[in-house]
Amino acid sequence: MASIAAANLRTRIEEISSAISHHRELIRDLEKQKSAVQGDLNTILDPMARLPFEISSDILLRCLPTSHQPDPDHAPMVFLDICRSWRNIVLATPELWADVRVDSPFSAGYEKFLHRWLARAATRPLSLSLHGVFTQRTEDLIDQYVHQTQTLQLYFPSADGLADILAPQRIFSSLRVLTIGQGDPFECEDSEDEESEAENNSSSEYYSHDPGECVEILAASPNVVRFTLDRIHFHVKGSTPASQRLTHSNLTDLSIGGSLGPSSTFILPYLTLPALQRLSILECVIAFKDFLAFLARSSSPLHSLSMKLPFRIRRDTPADRFLELIPLITDLDLDLLHGSKDLSDFGSSVILAIGSYNQLVPNLRHLTIRGSPEQLLPQYRQLLSAVYTRRAVPHSQLQAFRFFWNDYFSIAGVREINLDADIVIAMHELIADGMEIHIGTEERNLV
């Protein structure tokens, strides 16, 4: 009897267990149905879900942190847990995962997180910004994504990082935009004033190496169209070795500058850039003869030239020679505020040459001069007459002339200077004809 009772109880237990399993499946099914219905309700109530996919994706892209540093606690990771519709949008927007800043060294766990992150970018072109010391994990990251990377920023604390990048077999064939810099660009953007920035600069160690290393990286990036040197200090001994000179046929945009790197322009003797269209040189020192040699050697279709630097310039340097080397220029911006009197005289000569010789730079549309009024204003009648003459020539392309000086010079009474009435009338005629003219400080136009 006991054995029969035990068998019956075991059978009953199996029946109950089976019923429990069945009801658990029913509960799981109901939970799925509830989640689906909740998702449908969210879709109806959620403004994001009702937007076209392109708009909702764009909104999420605008929510990304400016540092683009992958973090599980920040966007876009936090979007994954909001709701199903947001998760679907995030995972269907590979651009959210394609712009990445990496600070090294980093752990093996963070390396796995990075690979999962970048995998969500699918086949989209990548933008990688590498900071800190160069490690084996950094090298592995570069090698895995080198053929997908179109934008690369290298911010290393010493030249050793650049040397490590230069593996003989490493070719950045997909690269279109390359930046080599020192320090953290975001720190510079957040600098509160010039004094604090100067303190940061003085406490930082410069790169001190041959510019040939940057040239080698550029040579390994044959399809780069934009190249930036950000606050790099070069140490050059002797003349440029012929073996390190590079002709880059695809580079169209070159930017050199930054307050930490007064010798960044030392790279110019190494380069010949026949396709260059835009050139910006800021806060550097350059011998003008070297700059003219670079322009002559490249013979490029330069359209835009912006320069803020104290040239080392000879007093007798002819302005027309400079203009002859940039015949296709449309936008010319010369900042002479911190230059010598010879440089200010050269700036005046440039304006006079533009006005006197129309065959020079015939495509010029925008001319901006930033200079010391104490040096340039005594010649302002000649300068403005030159601009008026240039604009009055039939088929002239000149659309804007801006002559700025710093508020600092207001202590010398510059802000109280009144332009001669005939000059003002002439300038107003040009303005009425559609030309933009600004003469004065950034805040005050005397015309």
Question: How far, in Å, CA of 370 to CA of 361, rounded?
Answer: 20
Mean pLDDT, residues 251-257: 93
User: In sequence order, which residues have a C-beta less than 8 Å from that of residue 202 and are 6 or more positions away?
Assistant: none
Q: Residue 285: is its pLDDT beyond 90?
A: no
What is the residue type of 212?
Answer: G
CB-CB contact of 401 with 435 (8 Å): yes
Q: CA 149 → CA 1, 99, 221, 418, distances in Å?
A: 79, 10, 11, 55
Mean pLDDT, residues 271-279: 96
What is the percentage of the chain residues whose pLDDT exceeds 70? 81
Kindly report, residue by residue over 38-51, the tens digit of the pLDDT. 767 766 666 776 77
pLDDT the model gives residue 207: 54
Residue 312: pLDDT band with limits 50, 70, 90: low
Residue 344: pLDDT band with limits 50, 70, 90: low
Kindly report, residue by residue over 391-427, the tens digit of the pLDDT. 877 778 889 998 887 665 444 444 455 667 787 788 8
In terms of Cα–Cα distance, which of 127, 198, 205, 101 is closest to 159? 205
Kindly report, residue by residue over 297-306, the tens digit of the pLDDT. 999 999 999 9
Kindly report, residue by residue over 7-21, the tens digit of the pLDDT. 777 888 888 888 898
Between 194 and 66, the higher pLDDT residue: 66
Kindly report, residue by residue over 76-114, the tens digit of the pLDDT. 998 888 877 888 889 999 999 999 999 989 899 999 999
Q: Residue 296: is its pLDDT beyond 90?
A: yes
Question: How far, in Å, CA of 285 to CA of 343, rounded?
Answer: 12
Kindly report, residue by residue over 150-182, the tens digit of the pLDDT. 999 998 877 777 778 877 778 899 999 999 987
pLDDT the model gives residue 189: 44
pLDDT the model gives residue 329: 95
pLDDT the model gives residue 343: 65
Mean pLDDT, residues 387-391: 83
Mean pLDDT, residues 378-389: 77
Question: How far, in Å, CA of 403 to CA of 399, rounded?
Answer: 14
Kindly report, residue by residue over 192-217, the tens digit of the pLDDT. 444 334 334 433 445 556 788 889 89
Whole-angstrom Cα Rg for the chain:
31
pLDDT the model gives residue 378: 66
Kindly report, residue by residue over 354-363, the tens digit of the pLDDT. 877 667 888 9
pLDDT the model gives residue 192: 40
Q: Residue 340: is its pLDDT beyond 80?
A: no
Kindly report, residue by residue over 258-267, the tens digit of the pLDDT. 654 557 788 8
CB-CB contact of 352 with 387 (8 Å): no
Mean pLDDT, residues 360-386: 78
Q: Residue 445: is its pLDDT beyond 80?
A: yes
Which residue intervals of 63-208 are DSSP H helices?
A: 84-91, 108-119, 136-145, 159-165, 185-189, 194-203
User: In sequence order, which residues have a C-beta less than 8 Å from that of residue 192 and are 6 or more positions away?
Assistant: none
Beta bridge partners of 436: 400
Q: Residue 223: is its pLDDT beyond 80?
A: yes
Question: What is the average pLDDT score of the chain?
Answer: 81
pLDDT the model gives residue 120: 93
Weakest-pLDDT range from 170-184, 235-249, 371-385:
371-385
Instruction: Please state the pTM of the whole predicted model.
Output: 0.80
Q: Alpha carbon 30 to chain centroid distance? A: 53
- 245: tokens are 């000179």
Mean pLDDT, residues 116-120: 93
CB-CB contact of 122 with 94 (8 Å): yes
Question: How far, in Å, CA of 352 to CA of 446, rounded?
Answer: 21
Beta bridge partners of 249: none
